[in-house]
Structure 1
Amino acid sequence: MMNYLLTPMIWQVTEGRYFLSGIKQRLLSFIFRKTWDEAADPTLRVQHLKMKFYCYFQDYVDLIMWKVQFLDRHHLLIKFGSVDGGVSRGTDQHAAFFAVYNMETTEIVAFYQNSADELYSLFELFSDHFHAPSRNSLHGNFITSHSNNVHALDQLLTLKNKANCYSQFVKKMMTSLPFTCQSQSPSPYFDLSLFRYDDKLISSTDRHRHATEHPIKFISRRQPNILKFKIKPGSEAGAQDVRPKRISSFLFHPYLPFALSIQQTFMQPTVVNIHFWRR
């Protein structure tokens, strides 16, 4: 019965145009079976298939891979989305889906939309499992996240409670998945158990931010209101820089007190500053 319902639809889509890839066949089969199992009554089952599977069948067929990440040696986390969303900067405005794929059995073992509460709960409780640190680097095991640090969790829950729309908040959080390899610094200076800092200006995540002329302060967590050190990413000449659209990024050593800040301005040379601890 299941093959009879699914096969004509695939044949109709692929005939005269293209064949579906093996992983796309697996994905469609998983969605079909998941929808099939939602209802035991035959009449309700047919209605569910019409509303949740056949109605969106072409949308599922048109999905492309946006990004892929290793979860472990056997499983991949694959992010699917539309072609338009793949070339757009604001990917959180487009529908996206996440699939967990077992490479050994060639099976899809889980499938979520980017607004699914179950996926967000996994992200909130088991964030470290979405990272696959290198076996050759012990420093990668000490990256601060809301799964292993109570202060990071407090920050996440604050954003969650302030959100006007929960589904939009979930979509925004899911834009970070799958994590890019080496995108987060294991530097102890980003450990929220040791320091407080403005995460809008700097954080362990490697990405471009709007530059600031004000020093970025690192406040001791154990000694409240005690400034331990500060980083000035702007010009060391002391003159006020009024150039527009200046962005900066930071690169910290995994454990030594050494960092680079890179400032980029449109139609201007890139400026690199070296920051190190000086007693």
Structure 2
Amino acid sequence: EDYNPLFIYSSPGLGKTHLLQAIALRAGQININALYVTSEQFVNDFITSIAQSRTDEFRRRYRSVQLLLLDDVQFLGSKGKSQEEFFYTFNDLHSNGCQIVLACDRPPSAIPGMEARLSSRFQWGLTADIAPPDEETRLAILMAKASERRVDLPIEVLRYLADRVRDNIRALEGCLNRVVAYARLTQSTINLEVARKALDALTPTAAAPANPQAILEAVSEYYSVPLAAITGKSRAKQIVEARHIGMYLLREDAELALKQVGLLLGHRDHSTVIHGVQKITRALIADPRLSAQLTEIRESVSHL
């Protein structure tokens, strides 16, 4: 009760989403009825339920769980009707003793366009800030990722990378990927000089969202599946897997909205995209090999 809701906030790239997904996975393993959704998904589901006169079904889905995990809470800002619906959803779950976990990129009181009654409820339980990782933690992350990739990096290279990126785990992993890709491309042994050359070309624009077409082409090449099949209607296992990977990368790396992802992948609706993305996010927690595959695809994207 003291931790309900649990409100987690931090700058982007520090693991909030991964943490919420891990909680949801663990809850499922011990037979707790948990639902992980993004605020964008909540809003889209609510709008769809109104359009299709199925609000009762929508409310049953969101209010019948034992544990609700809502990511990217800041997306609710300035969305009046959706905020009102979540206000009543929150009250219903909380009054019935159901746990609520929220993740945001800022503290409750600093969310633009958020109604005061919701902001105050977000602070009823425990508010936790995820701080950027210290040097020791950054080194441990790099070592784990390098081991996962079966790449040996000298300690001076690890320290160089850890010093270069201090406040974003995704960016830290991105630098590691770039160094490994550069070394393979130039057939070089990874050392401090190679690492510096690989990262010297980085500019602020290099951190921009990935090109959607490059992502789809890289997925197509990696799985040896024609792009037309990925965007088509085939339900063959390999094609469906490639399609789900494409959905995940378009959301995570290209930062596209659900509707945009659906349009690129054959005019699929947002619920289909949500299913595909969630399937990959769950698999990533349980299967390190999938993480390695995604890294290889991301390397290919950087060269397209």
Structure with more strand by fraction = 1
Asked if Structure 1 and Structure 2 have the same fold, meaning a TM-score greater than 0.5 normalized by the shorter chain, the answer is no
Q: TM-score, normalised by structure 1?
A: 0.25
Structure with more helix by fraction = 2
> Which protein shows a greater Rg?
1
